[in-house]
Amino acid sequence: MMPSQPKLIANYHCETGENPLSHPGERRLYWTDIPGGRMFRYDLVTGTHEQIYQGRTVGGFTIQQDGSLLLFMDRGTVACWHDGMITTVIEEIARERNFRFNDVIADPRGRVFCGIVDDNGQKGRLYRLDPDGSFSLLLQNISCSNGMAFSADQKLFYYTDTLSYEIYVFDYDVETGAIGNQRMFARFNEKDGMPDGATLDAQGRLWSALWDGFAVVRLREDGSVAERIELPTAKCRA
């Protein structure tokens, strides 16, 4: 049963804590403080935690097959982090030199869906990075590209546009990585808070962290709120 009370496990006073991701091979949880250019990890076995990175902005990351982390940074840069060593994989995306990545997710075939945002309010985009190193532009004119998830049967793709207060759902083709048939899944308002990070639980239900909402919520198949867990901080991200 899902615990109804949050527990503080680490406190690094992050300006924008983001992208908590479990590393099954290490039994650790990693996350990033985007503006601070820092990354941290928490050991699920020992309960210890530490800062592991200080440098350029990291807006999101995924876990590689060899256990290393693939970092999505500012300027459209992609780099590999392993045991404290950074190796550049993609120098930059020319169009995104004044932007940064924000929230990413790997699909079951190793493609990475990665959002681009601008902290000065310009419209963002959603890309797909394929295993061959090529980028495909999937969506444009996004107010704030954010939380994503794939359904358990790999037929649906959930995508959050934070400043629009909306979460969309697309049909998803796992063979090609294509998304289509965009429709509304859930809509929030100023009183609720803005949907930010997202994840899918073991029962196939989507969770959304609410920016300025003091909570995370579990959504039903129709997008309505089934459960709400209050948190002692207004700006929740995941």
| Positions marked active-site | 196
27-39 in b/e form (b: 16+ CB < 10 A) is: ebbbbbbbebebb
The one-letter code for the residue type at 103 is: D
Q: Report which DSSP code applies to 151.
A: -
Residue type, 231: L
DSSP, collapsed to helix, strand or coil, labels residue 158 as strand
94 Cα distance to chain centroid: 23
- The number of beta carbons lying within 10 Å of the beta carbon of residue 224 is 9
End-to-end CA distance of the chain: 20
Note whether 42 and 32 are within 8 A (CB).
no
3-state secondary structure at position 183:
strand
Opening angle at CA 159, ends 70 and 140, nearest 5: 85
Count of CB atoms situated within 10 Å of the CB of 120: 7
What are the percentages of helix, strand and coil residues in the chain, rounded to 5?
Answer: 5, 55, 45
